[in-house]
Amino acid sequence: DIQMTQSPSTLSASVGDRVTITCRASQSISSWLAWYQQKPGKAPKLLIYKASNLESGVPSRFSGSESGTEFTLTISSLQPDDFATYYCQHYHNYPWTFGQGTKVEMK
Amino acid sequence: EVQLLDSGGGLVQPGGSLRLSCAASGFSFESYVMSWVRQAPGRGLEWVSSITRTETTYYADSVKGRFTISRDNAKNMLFLQMNSLRADDTAVYYCAKSVTLEIDHWGQGTLVTVSS
């Protein structure tokens, strides 16, 4: 099974900060990676698919990139609505696996 | 508008069974991979099972042999039959729709609590 190692587990930041979250796959997943945002008590929301494609309706301050088996979610300028937990997920094959999550909290 | 309405959760004793349902609307249900993803209290997301358009099924090792995913394309319904439930199956279970394979829509979740 492919393991997804996400870091950091918690990130303290301020409004306007540039935020970067990393996910590393244990083997090649091509670009079959998604990023989700989840707020407490709510279902996750798709932000990025196929590593770098922005889901319709998602603000352009969110972006995704890849380098080999390392994937990055960047928020260019953190907004109040962005304080949440973020998960990566591979869908290269079954079983799908998620990263452990990164909680972005207010500094 | 895509809607996924999860239901069927509740309190069940260890070793018991429960059947989750997901009513889908707003898209061509039969054309998409559908899945169940769960989240234990205070924990991360865990993929549970998926079913393809041709009804090929996939399961996480943690539920294989105990859970069965199925779909009724005529009624736009997704199901998860859960048997031999254990305490570590306690979680919010989300019904999920995939577009290519990434999950683009989620249900609101239904809570399953396994406890005596």
Substitution target from A48, A96, A98 for chain B, most B beta carbons within 10 A: A96
pLDDT (tens digit per residue) in B76-88: 999 999 999 999 9
Task: Give the residue-averaged pLDDT of B99-111.
Answer: 94
CB contact under 8 A, B58 and A32: no
Question: Side-chain half-sphere of A102: how many Cα atoms within 13 Å?
Answer: 25
pLDDT of res. B100: 84
pLDDT of res. B103: 95
pLDDT of res. A63: 98
CB contact under 8 A, A44 and B44: no
3-state secondary structure of A38: strand
Residue with tokens 């924990």: B43
Number of CB atoms found within 10 A of residue B32's CB: 21
Query: Which residues lie below 8 Å from residue B28, measured CB to CB, with a gap of 6+?
Result: none
Whether B99 shows a pLDDT value over 90: the answer reads no
pLDDT (tens digit per residue) in B6-63: 999 999 999 999 999 999 999 999 999 999 999 999 999 999 999 999 999 999 999 9
Tokens coding B39: 């989240």
Q: Does A98 touch chain B (CB under 8 A)?
A: yes
Tell me how close the Cα of B72 comes to any Cα of chain A, in angstroms: 22
Tokens coding B68: 């069965």
Q: How far is the CA of A71 from the CAs of A20, A26, A92, in angstroms? A: 10, 12, 14
What is the identity of the amino acid at B4?
A: L
pLDDT (tens digit per residue) in A82-91: 999 999 999 9
Q: Is the peptide bond preceding residue B41 cis, with omega within 30 degrees of 0?
A: no
pLDDT (tens digit per residue) in A31-44: 999 999 999 999 99
